[in-house]
Amino acid sequence: MKQTIAKSWALPALVGVFLLAACRPTGPKYEVTNVEGGMVSIDSVWDAHPDADAVALLKPYKQKLDSLMNEVIGVSAMKMDKDKPESLLSNLVAEVLRTSASHVLQHPADLGIMNIGGLRNILPQGDITVDEVYEILPFENSLCVLTLKGTVLRHVLEDIAAQHGQGLSGARLEISKEGKLLSATVQGKPIVDEKEYTIATIDYLAEGNDGLPSLLQAEKRDCPDGMTLRGLFLNYVRQQTAAGKQITSALDGRITIK
């Protein structure tokens, strides 16, 4: 049966090839001799004469989207920026990741790691809207919980030291001005080579990106479906608000350069 079907398709296919060859243009040939390009500014100029029918069609959807994105879900007690070796915003997001590992481990992870490059805006002081969270975390990065030995964890922290810091929770590092790891503790204790540690991070970093190739040496990885970092952060803000708390963070010297 399979051979019969294959033969029945072969003839039309060959006929199609011959027909395409027969229909190929036989006129003069042209070639590209020059290509020019430029930047087109996408600004209010394009809104000067909007298409009325398109505006009317999109209006109900825009209103619904605006109502969702402009929803106030909490209050930030301070302006939170992103920087190295540590910052208010990167410390906060790393902590959200670390505690969110409870969905996988039934308890927080030993460490939380977030790359500074994944934070695309600051968190202003005052009301927090859904739109602002999307601006800070625009990517579809998801939670990944990794399990690895202390020997590998040391390499991961060396990677962070070489970059002069990243978002970190659950550990304290001392690094040199040249980017060498001088000392490290996890949950207030020295790293034990044969002990297993858990790291909560995002899938992008779990794949060894952004200067953290040592994460690829994890013995186990669990990346549950649908648990985006943005969704986890939104839930965190809502939970803190429901508990009557503002969103706060602190610089505590968890990464110091000697």
pLDDT tens per residue across span 185-199 = 999 999 999 999 999
Count other C-beta atoms under 10 Å from residue 175's C-beta: 24
pLDDT at 14 over 70: no
Residues 184, 196: Cα–Cα separation, whole Å: 16
- 217 or 33: which leads in pLDDT: 217
Confidence of residue 41 (pLDDT cuts 50, 70, 90): confident
Q: Is 212 exposed, middle or buried (0-12, 13-18, 19+ CB in 10 A)?
A: buried
Residues 67, 26: Cα–Cα separation, whole Å: 59
pLDDT at 3 over 60: no
Phi, psi at residue 47, to the nearest 5°? -95, 0
Q: Which is nearest to 187 in space by CA: 209, 212, 170, 162?
A: 170
Confidence of residue 67 (pLDDT cuts 50, 70, 90): confident
- 15 or 78: which leads in pLDDT: 78
What is the average pLDDT value for the chain, to the nearest integer? 89
CATH architecture, range 79-257: Alpha-Beta Complex (3.90)
Q: What is the pTM of this model?
A: 0.79
